[in-house]
Amino acid sequence: MDSLVVAVALLWALVIGLSIAVFALARQIGILYERIAPMGALITDSGPNVGETVSRFDLATLDGHSFSIGAPGARSPLVFFLSPSCPGRQKLLPILSSVASAEKSWLDIVLASDGDVAEHRAFVSQRKLQNFPYVLSKELGMAFRVSRLPYAALIDGAGVVRAKGLINNREQLESLFNARDLGVASVQSYLGVVGAAHSH
């Protein structure tokens, strides 16, 4: 009988100890989550600055239609620079399709690159990208000073750059929309201002 009481007491002690450990771990995870800021698109210093009006580009898409970037309009183009050989495109293309559907009320995603027309047409066919305007323009890439891919620039209906940066995942892509909604150059700059305000 005594041994049973001891065993039950030990089990209760173990349960209480485990509960305390779980609580402590949950608290540490919460603290860690607060300290780690969301990673937005990596903004670059080159090319048009956020808040700057871009030059107008009237371009022909691979399927023969016209698409204007920087022209006044009600909708906002997201210019997504990519390459058929870019390894990051594999996971980003399905994300682009999802975002295009979710934001279709105000956003037009246009894919941009340069190079061989036949290669890009084969790429469009292989990856089923027919729903996206796809333009080839070396001048466009030079205007935005695109040196690394994938890269995206969000432009408003007045032709003003609202957000830009290197994109490697959905979080970074959506950070462009967050920056636009907050009226800031990037999520990082916003967090920097908020952090400075809290420190005073």
DSSP state letters, 56-102: PEEEEBTTS-EEEES---SSEEEEEE--TT-TTHHHHHHHHHHHHHH
Residues 192 and 200: their CA atoms lie apart, in Å, by 13
The pLDDT value given to residue 36: 41
**Global model pTM greater than 0.75:** no
Q: Select the CATH number that applies to the domain covering 57-199 from these four: 3.30.450.20, 3.40.30.10, 3.90.550.10, 3.40.50.920.
A: 3.40.30.10
Residue ranges of domains in the chain = 1-36, 57-199
Asked if 181 and 106 count as a contact pair (C-beta separation under 8 A), the reply is no
- Give the count of alpha carbons within 13 A of 29, CB side only: 6
The tens-digit pLDDT sequence of the chain (200 residues) is: 677 778 888 888 888 988 888 887 877 665 554 444 445 555 666 678 999 999 999 999 999 999 999 988 889 999 999 998 877 667 888 999 999 999 999 999 999 999 999 999 999 999 999 999 999 999 999 999 988 889 999 999 999 999 999 888 888 899 899 888 888 776 555 455 444 444 55
